Structures are given as structure tokens and as C-alpha cells.
Amino acid sequence: MPAETPTMVARKSLSERFGTLLLVAPVMIFIIAVFIVPLVRMAWLSISDPKLSLDNYVMLFSSALYAKSMLRTFLISLSVTLICIFLAYPLAYYAATRGNLWGRFLLIAAALSFWISFIVRTYAWLVILGNRGPVIDILKTVGFEPAPRVLFTTTATMIGLTHILLPYMILALYSVMTKIDGNLGRAALSLGATPFRSFIKVYFPLTLPGLVNGCVLVFIFCLGFYVTPALLGSPRDLMVAGLIATEVQDLLQWGLASAMAMLLLAITVTLLTIYDRLIGLDRLWG
């Protein structure tokens, strides 16, 4: 068989590159059309509507309304993340270390929630937290008369968001906890450590990657949530996504809404960049 000449090698390499380009071209066209073009359009609107300037961004940082909305969004996102940690950690720990029927049932129940639309779950909370719902009945039973309003408050928003985002925290923790060697804890006990000290010094540090993964997912998802805060929360306590919708639908302030969206995108990208530098995006799902 004759040896390949440099010209043949170059043609073969060019043919392979062209074939690869044909394979990725549909995906690239889709990404450009669906993501890149709208993003560029939004960035342009943020500096060109109503006139070419940075007035929209100046207003975001100078107006108390938008500053409070941004702060409120961060506080709610942080609170929901902490609540998810408090609820998910013991559940994931039980499911990962016990491996019995109850552990598998709890894990399956958490995973099944992904199959139910978050809109359906949000409307369910409208009934549960409403004036004729079970929560108000329980409050009246224990002595609150009249019962405090729960629906259309920040508390209702946090309850709904926690319910929707809790499975992400559970599965992120569980995926890491199942990989921890149980002999490490037993070795610490054999060396004289108490169960609590063994957990704090050995087990908990090994679960930190899953804990960080869950926090990143929950916090970033929570930053951009719109439907659940809009349905369960108060119009006076709008998060950033709800404020963007108000600016577009009611006030037709496309430029200001685009500026808020770009700011929210910049914050999200910054958080993901920090995570990528410290841990790596390839480990985000365990």
C-alpha cells in the first residue's frame, strides 16, 4: 500500500473537519437563533431604549425601588437555600446511609416531584395556604383567631420555592453521600471519636461538594423564578423577575426591563464562573 503524501493527508484532515462542521452546524444554528440572537437583542435594548445611553443602568443603581427588589430577591434566594439545606441534608443522609425501604421511598418521592409541573404545585399551594385551606384551619385550631394571612406574602413565596427546589438539593447531596466509604466513620469511632465528632470531622467535610452543588443550583434557580412568586407572593414584594414582567407588560419599559435582565444574567454568570474556578462546572451534578 503506497504511503500517503502530504497532500493526501491535508485533504483527509480537511474532509474530517468539514464532516465535523456538518455535524455540529445544526446545533450551532439552533443555539445562535434561540439564545445568542435574543441575548444580543436584549443587550442592545438595554442601552438603546428609549435612547442610546446608559440611563437604564444608572436608574437601576440609583432607584430605591429596584435596589430593594434586588436585595429582596437575594434575601429570599438565600433563605430558600438555607431552608433547603436544613430539610434536605437529614433526608439525603438517611436515604444514603440506611438504604432501607423508607430511605428509598423518600428518595423516590423527591424524584417524582420532577414529573409534576411546578405550575401545578404552585396552584396546589394556593389552595393549601388559602383562607379556606388546611393551614388556616390548623392556625385557628391552635388558638389564632383571626388567623394571620399566609397566602400572598413573602412567607408563601418561600414555601412554594422551597417545595419546588428542595429535590435539587436532596439529589445533589445524595449523589455525593452514596460515594462516601462507611468504613471511614467506623475507623474514627474505633480511634476514640464520639459519633458527633466523627460526623463533624469526617463525614460532613466529605459531603461539602454535594452541599455546594445543591446551594448553587437552588440559589441560581431561585434568582430567576417568576411564576411562583407572582402567584403566591404579594405585589408589593416583587422579586426581580416579577419586576421585569411588570416593566414589560404594564409600563412597556423594554429598555429598563432588558437592563434588569442583563444585570441578573451578569450575576448568574459571575456565580457560575466563581464555582467553575473553585470546583468546576463538570461536577455540578455530582
* DSSP characters over 226-247: -HHHHHHS-GGG--HHHHHHHH
Give the three-state DSSP class for 250.
coil
Per-residue model confidence as pLDDT tens for the chain (286 residues): 455 566 655 565 666 676 677 778 888 899 889 889 989 999 999 998 888 888 888 888 888 888 888 889 999 999 999 999 999 999 999 888 887 778 788 888 887 887 888 788 888 898 888 888 888 888 888 877 777 888 888 889 999 999 999 999 998 999 888 888 878 888 888 888 888 888 888 888 889 888 988 998 899 899 888 888 888 988 777 888 888 888 888 888 899 899 998 988 888 888 888 877 877 766 655 5
Query: What would you report as the CA-atom Rg of the chain, rounded to the nearest whole angstrom?
Result: 25
* Residue numbers of the domain that contains 143: 26-283
Q: How much is the pTM?
A: 0.84
In a domain, 57, yes or no: yes
Question: In CATH, what number is assigned to the domain containing residue 268?
Answer: 1.10.3720.10
Buried b / exposed e along 159-189 (16+ C-beta atoms within 10 A): bbbbbbbbbbbbbbbbbbbeebeeeebeebe
* Helix 55-62 and helix 64-98, axial crossing angle in degrees, nearest 10: 70
CA pair distance 268, 259, nearest whole angstrom = 14
In a domain, 9, yes or no: no
CA pair distance 127, 137, nearest whole angstrom = 12
In a domain, 15, yes or no: no
In a domain, 20, yes or no: no
In a domain, 143, yes or no: yes
Number of domains the chain contains: 1
Classify the phi-psi angles of 252: left when phi > 0, otherwise alpha if psi is within -120 to 50, otherwise beta: left
In a domain, 1, yes or no: no
In a domain, 266, yes or no: yes
In a domain, 7, yes or no: no
